[in-house]
């Protein structure tokens, strides 16, 4: 059947439809009528769904662009136009995920006695417990890397959480800056359970505990800044 100019208005592309589905899952996380931990679970599902989309769906779209496909789909968009619009949608979606977590779920969890704490919020006993846990369980699994001309950027595992660290040699205050990378161990839980009362559950993010100990891992360097990152490859067959 021949297409008419009005027909594309009746259709969404399959990738846009997928994003709309994931948006509906996020709405379940945002819905205060749902049980709190169910909302947390829904938010986690949106994250794994988005990873799968980038790895598979977006990969196929990028491959079509690379292969030179210019034909419009049933939604009236070429592959490059679809990718441009979906990229904007993904950025807006991630902003909505963070807003849901930071502005809705975390405050509600605190009201229910479930606290995700920053290091400065920990009392002395909790800090001592966390440091002992780091020395006993975490430090043996870490491989801090400094990137320089002799040490190129390391191979980063698919979807592995890492810390990027901005360093400067202490002996050369005006010397060049150096980038460091530490991979957060996958073998350990992402949340470190801290001692608390029976009615309260306190946790510290594993990457925050590692970040607190960066100075000891990079002796001879001043740690200027750090940030967590993950690499989600769009084309699974591409070597990293």
Tell me the per-residue pLDDT of 112-158, one tens digit each, with 9 for 90 and over. 999 999 999 999 999 999 999 999 999 999 999 988 776 777 777 88
Residues 6+ apart with CB under 8 A from 214: 144, 163, 165, 180, 182, 223, 226
**Residues in contact with 239: Cβ distance below 8 Å, sequence separation at least 6, in sequence order:** none
- Determine the pLDDT at residue 7: 57
Residue 11: pLDDT band with limits 50, 70, 90: low
One CATH from 3.30.1840.10, 3.40.47.10, 3.40.50.300, 3.10.20.30 for 114-230: 3.30.1840.10
- Alpha-carbon distances, residue 168 vs 69, 165, 176, 177, 182 (angstroms): 47, 10, 7, 5, 16
The yes-or-no verdict on residue 35 having pLDDT over 60 is yes
State the pTM of this model: 0.81
More confident residue, 50 or 17: 50
Query: What is the location of CATH 3.30.1840.10 in the chain?
Result: 114-230
Mean pLDDT computed over every residue of the chain:
87
201-232: b (≥16 Cβ within 10 Å) or e: bbbbbbbbbbbbbbeebbeebeeeebeeeeee
Predicted pLDDT at 237: 46
Give the length of the chain: 240
Q: Are strands 221-230 and 177-183 parallel, antiparallel or unpaired?
A: unpaired
Q: Which strands sit side by side in the sheet containing 201-205, from one edge to the other?
A: 114-117, 201-205, 191-194
């Amino acid at each position: 059947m021949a297409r008419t100019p009005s027909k594309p208005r009746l259709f969404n592309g399959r990738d846009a439809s997928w994003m709309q589905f994931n948006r509906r899952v996020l709405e379940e996380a945002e819905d205060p009528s749902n049980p709190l931990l169910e909302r947390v679970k829904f938010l986690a599902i949106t994250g794994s769904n988005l990873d799968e989309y980038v790895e598979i769906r977006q990969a196929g779209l990028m491959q079509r662009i690379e292969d030179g496909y210019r034909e419009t789909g049933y939604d009236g968009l070429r592959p490059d136009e679809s990718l441009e619009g979906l990229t904007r949608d993904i950025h807006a979606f991630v902003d909505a995920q963070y807003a849901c977590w930071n502005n809705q779920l975390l405050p509600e969890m605190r009201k229910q006695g479930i606290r995700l704490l920053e290091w400065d919020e920990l009392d002395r006993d909790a800090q001592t417990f966390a440091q002992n846990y780091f020395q006993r369980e975490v430090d043996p699994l870490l491989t801090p890397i400094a990137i320089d001309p002799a040490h190129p950027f390391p191979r980063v595992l698919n979807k592995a959480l890492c810390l990027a660290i901005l360093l400067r040699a202490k002996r050369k205050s005006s010397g060049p800056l150096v980038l460091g990378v530490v991979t957060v161990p996958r073998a350990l839980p992402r949340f470190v359970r801290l001692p608390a009362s029976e009615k309260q559950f306190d946790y510290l993010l594993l990457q925050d505990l590692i970040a607190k100990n960066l100075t000891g891992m990079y002796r001879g360097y001043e740690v200027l800044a750090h940030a967590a990152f993950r690499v989600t490859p769009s084309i699974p067959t591409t070597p990293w």
